[in-house]
């Protein structure tokens, strides 16, 4: 059996389980950083307030996406349709955008350089997850998903990615 590297293992873990691991890591690093007085980013408390707003907006987007995409936590073999309504009509992976917003928001709320770096690493992994998921969806729904990709150009961030 082929041994998977760290990134491949992160990409095949269920998103719910991976999210719990990521949040636990971020909270532990945040508390440790405050306890040991690790390097902080400048512009406090404005950056903390912005981080809190970004976290809240990400959370609201996540809740909205979960209501629209009721199959979001199903295993891939149980997914029978592609959701194209709501935010999914503008962005192909809005749940991943919401997680990225919450990660970066939490990092900014704590104001720690180490936590910002960790949130950016986790965000990159969510982008790679989106790319992997698109390959899978193109195999499972070749015509429908290709048409959806043409109609909804933006993968995660409108006008950027």
Helices and strands in the chain: count of H runs, count of E runs = 6, 0
Q: Taking the CB of residue 53, how many other CB atoms lie within 10 A of it? A: 14
Q: Report the mean per-residue pLDDT for the chain.
A: 88
pLDDT above 60 for 1: no
Residue 91: φ, ψ to 5°: -135, 140
Of the pLDDT bands very low, low, confident and very high (cuts 50, 70, 90), residue 75 is: low
- Record the pTM: 0.88
CATH of 15-151, one of 3.40.50.300, 1.10.10.10, 3.40.50.280, 1.20.120.1630: 1.20.120.1630
Q: Do 26 and 119 meet the contact criterion of CB atoms below 8 Å apart?
A: yes
Model confidence over 128-160: pLDDT tens digits?
A: 889 988 998 999 999 999 999 999 999 999 878
Contact partners, residue 88, CB within 8 Å, separation at least 6: 65, 68, 69, 94, 152
Nearest to 105 by CA among 68, 53, 37: 53
pLDDT at 2: 63
DSSP 145-161: HHHHHHHS-BSSSTTT-
Q: Do 45 and 160 meet the contact criterion of CB atoms below 8 Å apart?
A: no
Q: Taking the CB of residue 52, how many other CB atoms lie within 10 A of it? A: 15
Rounded to a whole number of angstroms, the CA Rg of the chain reads: 17
């Amino acid at each position: 059996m082929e041994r998977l590297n760290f990134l491949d293992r992160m990409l095949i873990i269920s998103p719910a389980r991976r999210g719990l691991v990521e949040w636990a890591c971020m909270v532990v690093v945040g508390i440790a950083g405050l306890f040991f007085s690790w390097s902080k980013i400048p512009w406090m408390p404005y950056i903390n307030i912005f981080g809190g707003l970004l976290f809240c907006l990400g959370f609201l987007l996540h809740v909205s996406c979960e209501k629209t995409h009721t199959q979001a936590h199903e295993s891939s073999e149980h997914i029978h349709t592609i959701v194209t309504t709501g935010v999914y009509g503008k962005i192909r992976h809005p749940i991943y955008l919401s997680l990225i917003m919450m990660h970066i928001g939490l990092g900014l709320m704590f104001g720690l350089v180490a936590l910002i770096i960790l949130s950016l690493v986790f965000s990159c992994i969510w982008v790679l997850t989106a790319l992997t998921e698109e390959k899978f969806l193109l195999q499972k729904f070749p015509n429908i998903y290709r048409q959806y990709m043409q109609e909804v150009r933006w993968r995660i961030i409108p006008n950027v990615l």
